[in-house]
């Protein structure tokens, strides 16, 4: 599948996200995709923004979606939705907090449930790699059409690698013109080392030579 570039106006960005949504929906015809990890090579590549827009697009399209902020080192989903909460996935993992207590209903789409990080722990990798986390994701897969996880950058930390072994597939976001080729190669190698199922790459901050605007692109591995 050829890569595509999109430019920065609301209608075109919406169309780009719908295209990404369609590509993901048709990525696996034999086994239905139930969980998806979205990661990046470095911080500030727009990973969380794309994750949230994708989750909302799928929810508005009629799917029941759960979005979990698993960036336990630098959480951003709460900032994106303008919600401050001290309760999240870490409360579930280390305390007796129930799932219903940590779920937030998205204001944009009723079909989207969101779980923030909760208190930042001293041992993110251990928590994310715990059996309790794996069980939580698999149980959520039975309730939701798709579980989407926003994770830390895979080029810097092991958290994304750990999570990629639990979910069905992984999408990598890179900032065109910012992410170095060597950094991308290291990130892909990190994910391949744990046999992550990489669906494709989303190119963010794609510059137009004509008007220097920004947008999105998607490139499948196939």
CA distance readout (Å), 154 to 29, 92, 127, 148, 220: 27, 24, 17, 16, 18
d(CA 20, CA 201): 10
Structural domains in the chain plus CATH codes: 23-178+190-220 (3.40.50.300)
Are 171 and 50 in contact, with CB atoms under 8 Å apart?
no
d(CA 60, CA 32): 19
pLDDT of residue 1: 31
Nearest one of 129, 133, 118 to 72, comparing CA atoms: 118
User: Which positions of the chain have pLDDT values less than 50?
Assistant: 1-9, 209-220, 222
Nearest one of 19, 14, 13, 69 to 200, comparing CA atoms: 19
pLDDT of residue 5: 37
Which residues, 6+ apart, have CB-to-CB distance to 110 below 8 Å?
59
pLDDT of residue 210: 45
């Amino acid at each position: 599948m050829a890569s595509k570039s999109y430019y920065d106006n609301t209608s075109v960005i919406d169309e780009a996200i719908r295209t990404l949504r369609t590509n993901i929906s048709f990525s696996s015809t034999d086994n239905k995709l139930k969980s998806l990890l979205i990661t990046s090579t470095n911080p500030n590549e727009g990973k969380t923004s794309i994750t949230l827009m994708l989750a909302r697009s799928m929810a508005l399209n009629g799917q029941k979606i759960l979005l979990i902020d698993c960036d336990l080192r630098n959480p951003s989903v709460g900032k994106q939705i303008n919600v401050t909460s001290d309760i999240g996935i870490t409360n579930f993992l280390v305390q007796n907090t129930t799932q219903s207590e940590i779920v937030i209903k998205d204001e944009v789409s009723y079909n989207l449930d969101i779980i923030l990080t909760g208190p930042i722990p001293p041992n993110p990798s251990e928590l994310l790699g715990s059996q309790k986390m794996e069980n939580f994701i698999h149980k959520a897969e039975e309730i939701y059409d798709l579980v989407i996880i926003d994770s830390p950058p895979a080029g810097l930390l092991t958290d994304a690698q750990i999570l990629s072994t639990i979910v069905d597939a992984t999408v990598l976001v890179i900032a065109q013109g910012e992410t170095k080729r060597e950094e991308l190669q290291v990130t892909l190698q990190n994910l391949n080392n744990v046999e992550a199922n990489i669906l494709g790459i989303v190119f963010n901050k794609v510059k137009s030579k004509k008007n220097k605007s920004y947008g999105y692109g998607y490139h499948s591995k196939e």
